Structure formats: structure tokens, C-alpha cells
Amino acid sequence: MIPDYAVWLIIFLPVLAFLINGLIMRPLAKEKNAKYSGYITILSIAGSLGLALWAVYSVADEGAKEFSHVISTHWLGVGDNLNIEISILLDKLSATMALVVGVCSLMIQIYGQGYMKGDTGYMRYYTWMPLFTAAMLGVALSGNLIFTFVCWELVGLSSYLLIGFWYHKPSAAAAAKKAFVVTRFADLGFVMALVGIYFGMNGTELVQKEGINVFDIANLPDIAHQAITMGLISTTGFTWILLGIFAGAAGKSGQFPLHVWLPDAMEGPTPVSALIHSSTMVCAGVYLVARLFPMFAMHEYGETAALVVAGLGGFTAIFSASMGMVMYDIKRVLAYSTLSQLGYMMLGLGAVAYGAAHTSDHHEAEHLMELAFAIGMFHLFTHAFFKSMLFLASGSLQHSTGTFDIRLMGGVRKYMPWTFWIFIIGSLSLSGIWPLAGFWSKDGILLESWAHTPWFFWLAMITVFMTAFYMFRAIFMTFFGEWRGGDPSGLHHGDEHDDHGHQEVHPHESPFVMVAPMVVLCVLAIGSGWAFLGPIDANAFLGGHSHAFFSVFTEFSLDEAKHSLPLIGLIVALFGVFVAYAIYGAQWVSNEAIGRAFKPIRTLWYRKYYMDELYEDVIIRGVLMKGIFWLCAAFDTYVVDGIVNGTAGLASEVGGLFRKVQTGQLQEYGIAMGFGVVVMLAAVLIGFYG
């Protein structure tokens, strides 16, 4: 069994790298020694990955279905009732998430050695990256919602620093602020949910008599059930708590309508994009819903929230895929693909949660809650590998051609064979083509959405076609046809943008330090599905102890194999590939003719449904600045300041009137005093005799 201190080190090794690089390497090391900051980051994350593997072995050895180990330490107390703890929850869910974060982050850091070479912010890059990784590992392993929220906000801060890494570019600075503001707005829902949990559930017997912390993730479903049973919280109140949690998750995972920050996050370096869009920031929302899944699946009480999760996930999947079909920036195509796949994951979790909450069969509900891990987290697991690989491949293309614009590429497969095949395999896996990992995880979501929320199934099935279409549209425009020249001015990314427009671009394969991590991720994109669901025995992987750990995967895959939906999904995906080939490969149909025929729809998709204009022009500049903010300013000026200034003016005017009475003539003062004495005497006499 992995010792407690080793589990803590999974989080704190990257923190140590952040401190060393930030406090020692950056102030003291010369620019020529900047490479050592990269080595420190890579070694720290490799150490975390090794410990995460140890944790996976330990959980598998103990029997994953039953095993749950909490490591807790008291942090601080507020009054007599609120004790805040820092705790780690080690079970199959957290161990799997930590493993995924560790693998993807390590490959991305190694890749960054080549991609960021020569960038003046190299050391700064390798200072922020381990902080980002540590924050996400904290979210993955946290056993207490307060600690989760601290790491959650640290993920947001790190993403702000990395999206705006090239801060001298106005677009990067704007994208960083946009990501920060949108996710902070969403996190307000998370904060309100925490407040609701404290005031609505703190009076339960589990908290008051047994001393369980009200924010303890492992016991929170039981605490919530007891709070409802005792009448401490109503069904409506519980639903609002779940929706608050989902609001925070939707912000991080870019669910509609809080998706607008994520495509703009492409302004950061490509390894940052790979980390944000694969296993870290955007997956934190999905992971939070999966972590608190028993609450969403609570019979009769979680139905509404589960339906919202499934519905919004299904809509986000098709909504984002439509925009990916018309984008020309390959990183933005992948960004919208990520949004779509996150919608898939939310759809899967919401559909199974709705099924569990809707059934009165206790055993069926328990089975569905186990199944949620398979269909939601397994797709997150596989998606992390092939999406990281695709983003790194897009960075490899830019490193060689100087551009992310697929209209300026063409014929690149002749010059970059490794990148070509890696991109092909990643796209096939993303499209859900058998036998790659994406087939097993993605079609499982289709199966469960059909079983529990068939009205959302059709959104998911349409998205299958769209996903295959936009990925192979990018492939045919990028790797096939004739070379279209690239962009010489973009060959030098980062803080130094030299103008070499007079030079020709000669595409070439990226260096080994960039290709090797992509190959490792490519192997995982192929084999991760088979290792746990197919003919490869996972017992060999975990020393004979995998049955408990992966039993839900195996059971799920057997059920899936008996159903026809995966085959239908495969046919739909292949049809999407065929349509992309017909338009952009064989050119049987003119892309320009289609664009003219569907110009309004294409413009709507290309302008991102005018959501940026809605937020920035209508809501921010119109409703807020010219409406609410103007009214607040007017109220402050004419009411608040008016009362203060009016009171002061009135006092001044009254004082001015009385000032005129002071003439300085003693005779007048004597007359006034005599008159006053007469008035007072008259008042006394009237009061005495009257």
C-alpha cells in the first residue's frame, strides 16, 4: 500500500519545481542555463507520475470497488462549527485521474523542450507549468470540497498566466482576461453551492454527532440524504445546490453558454493548449460532476439536475461541432472539438444519473452509478491521450510551416510523415473508429444516452458525423494536395516575431524531442481501449490485481458489444469521413459552391453564432455599461451625491440666513434679548395659570 506521504508528494513535487524555478532559477540562473528549469519541471512531474502509478497499483491491489482511503489534516477552524480540512481521497476515480494528468503533463513538458526552445519566456513557462499541473493533481486527489475549491481556483489562476503567456500580444492578454472572468463568474455558482451545503447539511447527525466534516466528498452523499430525510433541506434547495456545482463545472468545461473563453485560449503556447484541452482544466468540470455523481443520481432528488447536465451536454456537443466544421485555424478546430467531446462526457454522466435517479430499483441504481465511471471517466481517460496528441501535432505543423491556417498548408504529409500518421490516428480515435480507444469510450455514451435520455441521443449521433467530417476536412486540407507556401512570418513564435516574409518556408519533420512524446500518446490512443476492454489482459498490467479496478469497464464493454448502436455509430462516423473526402480530397463537390449555397448558415457558424458580439457588445457594453452601470452612476451622482451635497447646501443656506442676523449692533442685541425675556416670561405665566 502506498504510504500517505507519497500520496501527498504526487501534488507537492510539482509545487517544489514551481518554487525552485520561480525563486531560485529565474532570479539567479543566466539565460543560457534556462534549460535546467525545464529539466526540473520534467523530473518533478515524472516523480508525480511514478507515484500515481504506485497509487493505481495500490488501489487495484486493495479491490477498487470497495477501497477508499482518506488522508486528512486539520487546516483551520472558524468558530465552533466550521472546521476546514485539507484531505486527500484515494480511490479508483482519483487514482485514474491523477494518472491521466501525470502522463499527459509529462509528455507535454518533454515536447515543450523543443517547441519553446529559443523563446525568451522559456524559464517563465517552466515556472508556471508545474504550478498548473500541481493544481490539477490537487483537484483530482482532493477529499474535501473546500480543498477542491482552493485547487480549482489555482487552476484558473494558472490558466490565466499561461493563456496570456505572450502578454505583449493584445489578443493573448484579452484571451487570458476573458478566460479568468468567465470562469470566475461560473465559480460563483460553486461558492453558492458550498454555502448551501454548509447551512443546509451542517445540522445532520453524521456531522454533529459522528464528527464527519460536512464538506467531506466521500460522505457527502450520505450527509445530503440524511439532511433531506431530516427536513433540513428541501428538494428545491438540494436541486439548486446541484445546479450550483454544475455551474462551476460548466465554466471550467466550457459548456454552453460559458464556452466562449475556451477557443480564445489558443492564444497561449501550443503545449499550454494541449494541457488545458486534454486532461487538466477543461476536464476538471467533468471530473467534479463524476466525483459528486451519487448526489446527481439520488432517487427523486437528483432528476432535475441530472436532466440539465445531460441536456446541456448534448446541446454543447452539437453546438460546438458545428463551429468546428468551418474554422480554418487548426487549433481552433481542435478547441471546438474539445468543447464537443466535453459535452459528450456531460451527456453520458447526466444520462446515467437521470437513469439512476429515475429508477426505484436500488440494485439497478447502484449498477448505474458504477457504470457512470465507465462511460464518463473512461471517455475522459481516452480523450486526454488522443486530444493531447492532436494539439501537439498541430504545434508540430506550426513549428514547421509557421502557421495554424490549414489554407496555407497542403501536401505536408510528404515532409512530415510522423506528424501525418500521428494526426491520422488521433483523428480516427476522436471520430470513434474501431479499434481505437475512442471507439470504446465514445460509443458507450451513445448507448447509455439511448437507454436513458433518447431525446438527447439524436444530438449525439449527429455530432458523430460532424466530428468525423471536421477532423478529416482538416486532414485533407493540411496533408493532401499541393504545398501552398505556409507563413514565413510565423516561424518564430513567442516574444520575438522577426519578419522573414521574403524567405520561403521549407516544411520539415519536427525534432525528436517533439515527435517522441506524440508517439507515446499515439500508442496510448491506440491501446488504452484495448488494454482495459479488449483482448489484452490488464492483469499483466497491474500484476494480477486488475479485476476489481477495471471490472466496470469489462462489464460495460460486454454489454456494448451485444448492442447494434456502436456499429451504427461507426457507420455514421465513416460516412462523415467519406463526405469530407468527397469535398476536400477528391473534390467531387465544390467547397465554394457549398459555401455559396449555405452562406447564411456558414456565416453563422464562422461568426460563432455571434456569441462574442452578444456578450461584449450587447450584454457588457449595452446592458451593463450603458444600462445598469449608467443607472448606478446616475443614482450615485444624482441621489447619493445629491443628498450629501444638498444637505451641505441647505446647511450653508440656513447658516447664511442666520449670519445676516448678526449685525454687530449692541442696541439690536439688547432689543432681541429683551424680546426674548418677554416671550419666556409669557410662556411661563401661560403655563402656570393656563
Specify the DSSP element, H or E, that contains 249: helix 235-253
Q: What are phi and psi of 168, to 5 degrees?
A: -70, -15
Residues 6+ apart with CB under 8 A from 124: 26, 165
Long-range CB contacts for residues 527-533, cutoff 8 Å, separation at least 24: 527/437, 528/381, 528/382, 528/385, 528/437, 529/382, 529/435, 529/436, 529/437, 529/438, 529/439, 529/440, 529/441, 530/435, 530/437, 532/378, 533/440, 533/557
Orientation of helix 330-358 relative to helix 235-253, angle to 10°? 160
* Measured CA distances, 192 to 179, 241, 482 (Å): 20, 8, 55
Which of 405, 400, 386 lies closest to 341, judged by CA? 386
Please check whether residue 147 is in contact with residue 85, taking contact to mean a CB–CB distance below 8 angstroms.
yes
- Coil, strand or helix at 204: coil
Give the pLDDT confidence of 436-473 residue by residue, as tens digits.
Answer: 877 877 777 777 777 777 888 888 888 889 999 999 99
Which pLDDT value is given to residue 541?
A: 40
Instruction: Report yes or no: 87 and 216 within 8 Å, Cβ to Cβ.
Output: yes
| Cα–Cα distance, 194 to 470 (Å, whole number) | 40
Backbone angles phi, psi at 80, to 5 degrees: -95, -15
User: What are the backbone dihedrals phi and psi of residue 231, each rounded to the nearest 5 degrees, phi first?
Assistant: 80, 15
The predicted structure's pLDDT at residue 469: 93
Using DSSP bridges, classify how beta strands 82-90 and 69-78 pair: parallel, antiparallel or unpaired: antiparallel
Q: What is the pLDDT of residue 497?
A: 40
- In this prediction, the residues of the chain whose per-residue pLDDT falls under 70 are 29-32, 61-67, 78-82, 278-279, 359-376, 487-503, 529-564, 661, 690
> CA 321, 324, 325: angle at the middle one, nearest 5?
95
Q: How far apart are CA 5 and CA 49, in angstroms?
A: 15
158: number of Cβ within 10 Å: 25
Using CA of residue 245, residue 446, residue 558, residue 307, what is the dihedral sign?
positive
Cis amide linkage into residue 221, ω under 30° from 0: no
Specify the pLDDT at position 130.
92
Helices marked H in 431-564: 437-452, 454-479, 512-533, 538-541, 546-561
Beta bridge partners of 329: 405
CA–centroid distance for 359 within its chain: 31
CB-based contact 268:116 (threshold 8 Å)? no
pLDDT at 50: 92
Grid cell in block for residue 623: 446592458
pLDDT at 544: 43
Measured in residues, the chain has a length of 690
The contacts of residue 192 (CB under 8 Å, 6+ apart) are: 244
CB-side neighbour CA atoms (13 Å) of 639: 6
SS (H, E, C) 250-296: HHHHCCCCCCCHHHHHHHCCHHHHHHHHCCCHHHHHHHHHHHCHHHH
- Which pLDDT score, from 0 to 100, does residue 494 have? 44
SS3 69: strand
Predicted local confidence at residue 137, as pLDDT: 92
Q: Is 402 helix (H, G, I), strand (E, B) or coil?
A: coil
Comparing C-alpha atoms, which of 19, 220, 208, 34 is closest to residue 120? 34
